[in-house]
Amino acid sequence: MKPNVPLCLALLALVATNAGAVAEDSRAHPRASAHHARHAKPAPVIKKPAIDYEGEQVNFSDWQAVREFEDEMVARHGFERAGLDALVRQMRYVESAVTLIKPAPPGKPKNWHAYRERFIEPIRINAGVRFWDENADTLARAQAQYGVPAEILVGLLGIETLYGRDTGRFRVLDALATLAFAYPEAPNRVERMAFFRSELENTLLFAREAGIDPLSLSGSFAGAVGMPQFMPGNILKYGVDFDGDGRIDLRGSPADAIGSVANYLARHGWDRNAGGPPAIPVEVSPNRAWEAMLGGPLAARYKPSELAAAGVTMQLALPDDRLYGLVDLQNGAEPTEYWAANDNFFAITNYNRSFFYAMSVIELGRAVRVARGT
């Protein structure tokens, strides 16, 4: 980073040229280290993000918490105060982000089959086939380097944004500022505000490092960016310049998105030597001793012999030197499905803490592979 570069001068130059390709990340979100951006090529000219909300032009600079945030950015990272003030004055309060971040009200029971139908469907499968065909060499290279199969990478990018078709239409700074300083009332409000404040900090650091206008970054209502929907902090941690052009671009470069997701999963426990599918269906006995194995940490913790002793019947023989977790997929009024999942399944849950999500990634990737005839 170059703290002696005034942010206001950088912003004026960037706005004048309308520059600022998004070298992005999420969510959680993979990014190789940010040092790539120090030697970045000039970013291509891109338009300001097309946003789908009005927003409220509040004066964030009058808020005590925002002034304290600016003080920290100046003291800790060498940002120039006048430039920060100019930037903050352009941020908008987004009521829709506040609404969308609230937990959904209690409703119908969880239904894996209904969830699955939303994602494992012809449009997404066909798009996945095209994406795989167009990026076959890159996917093979990522699989060889990180050990994550191409079908998992294809499945995840398809679930996240339909291969870049829907990456979000919120300005990242607007969404993060709103949630950092005006998070709705909730039991975990303090922790969530701290998280989004940290991501606002990461956005400014990333934009300076990459030499882009932070106002050009668009993403989800929670600030997730690009094809894989990385949060800005994850761009800095796990983003990969996988196409070798000197910058990390998770919106415009499928190669960077592929490499970054593979890096993220590898760094979160994907085991290339696990063997077999990430999850296999099982049957459970009426004695319900296995119920104690549900819940708890999202991790593989039990040997197959321990699962069997608790009344879990495997459809495939599993090596007893490997650990598995018991996964329940509720189906509304229909019987719940049960699966034995290994470390690779739980690596996906680090991306999104949902069994439904992890299973949909696996099943979409498998469906695309089958559709390709591979």
Q: How far is CA 71 from CA 92, 122, 214, 237, 355, in A?
A: 20, 51, 18, 24, 41
> Known catalytic residue: 291?
no
Q: What gap in Å lies between CA 210 and CA 34, rounded to an integer?
A: 8
Q: What gap in Å lies between CA 249 and CA 46, rounded to an integer?
A: 12
Q: Which H, E and C letters describe 310-350, residue by residue?
A: CCEEECCCCCCCCCEEEEEEEECCEEEEEEEECHHHHHHHC
Q: What gap in Å lies between CA 172 and CA 103, rounded to an integer?
A: 21
Catalytic residue, candidates 151, 160, 199, 201:
160
Helices (H), 38-121: 64-77, 81-88, 95-101, 112-119
Q: How far is CA 354 from CA 19, 100, 337, in A?
A: 37, 18, 15
Per the structure block, which two tokens stand in for 74?
A: 């100046």
Helices (H), 108-231: 112-119, 122-134, 136-146, 150-161, 172-181, 189-210
Q: How far is CA 340 from CA 207, 327, 337, in A?
A: 42, 6, 10
Per the structure block, which two tokens stand in for 149?
A: 């199969």
**Which residues carry out catalysis?**
160
